[in-house]
Amino acid sequence: MASINVRIEEDEKQAIVDVIKTIQGQVIAVNAIAKKAGFNPNRTRFIIEDLLEEGRIVRKVAKQFNEKYVRYCYEIPKGGSK
Q: What is the pLDDT of residue 16?
A: 97
Share of the chain above pLDDT 70, in %: 96
What is the Cα–Cα distance from 51 to 6, expressed in whole angstroms?
A: 14
Nearest to 80, CA basis, from 38, 4, 20: 20
Distances (CA, A) of 24 to 9, 56, 78, 82: 23, 13, 12, 16
C-alpha 24 chain-centroid distance: 11
Whole-number pLDDT of residue 4: 81
Statement: the pTM of the whole predicted model exceeds 0.75: yes
Give the mean pLDDT of the chain: 92
Provide mean pLDDT across the span 39-54: 96
Residues 21-41 have a mean pLDDT of 94
Question: pLDDT tens, 49-77?
Answer: 999 999 999 999 999 999 889 999 999 99
Domains of the chain: residue spans and CATH: 10-75 (1.10.10.10)
